[in-house]
Structure 1
């Protein structure tokens, strides 16, 4: 069996902790799994109100990739808005990435214009669109109330329906104790990642989530049409958080995607 090293990138409000089921399955079966905490996420101690940009937010992922031995490559796996962080990392470290897997994640070709409909849902997923924000997101104003918000967090009464509508209750309960405000400035940059031709050479896989209440399947299809991946998988009964709602099926898809790589 070929040993693979999977590196997981979480979405807004989450941390490396959300991948614990996938990491455990992979390690039990002879693979490596690294679950990154981006800046101000998980147990990273940074105050989210102080994160200044996408690159600042992604610094822990960049640091990890930069220290990999020259002959080592990893499989990157991202969720939700973490897809933007993963794409940015692919642009900077293309020689370190053998495969990129987007799980209900933002997958936008660097340097391209994003249709307004898709741009809006990406903003909703990161708490940045006005008509939805007042309803489902709470804000923090680290630079004072007269300035734009610096942190966002989903209101507790919406977390179950938007993130975990098909997930086990114990995972939802765990998540409610671990979710943190996310840095707004990080997500502003996701839609403005500059063009990087080397990124197109990295094979991409997309995992669709059939019962997603945050990033609806029809909008995932719009994104797939704009930058078609090499492979697409469907988790028909998954909510936005496939790592909780269909972890074993997602694990099998990861192995199947990895098996397409040359030894």
Structure 2
């Protein structure tokens, strides 16, 4: 009986967290239309990037581009928080807490940009568009005073992130690959073949140069082979031309 009560309590608590999570993601944005100016571009960017660029993973360049979203959103969060503070809708303590959270998200975006420029492959995992979109989507309602920042909200964001992530993974798996991606992949394959062919051609031309050098050495034509000169130690070979033969013939005569 005790186990059933504990399981029921845990189940109800998880269900409450799930409702908070769903409401924050899909209901809260429509309670204050100002935040749609931030969220609509974020969601649209996620849809097109997720299914036309990152269906099979992200590149360093894509991750760097994705990092611009949290960078810009954190600036909007700070601006909104200061505005609410000036209108009396936000206390000084809440303002400091929200600015601190904005700086954390800003640092997250800057970290992706810096690591991506350095070529660190970890940004392929922390800089995907789905992670960036999730972070902006769950915290923007907080900064627009629609959803209160609470322990339950933070816990719901953490607990149900895998659900968000793998749901998108399943959608990627079952949806057909866009023609745009197939075209890009075929173009990249053709470009690599052309580069490989140019490399083989260059190697072949280099081999012809080596062949010419070897042939020159074998034939006595090259920098190591020089014709003897009259001043060399060997001298010129004795002449056997027609002049010597003519003088010899006169002597016998």
Q: Shorter-chain-normalised TM-score: which range?
A: under 0.3
TM-score (norm 2): 0.24
Q: Pick the structure with more strand per residue.
A: 1
Bigger Rg, which one: 2
Q: Pick the structure with more helix per residue.
A: 2
TM-score (norm 1): 0.23
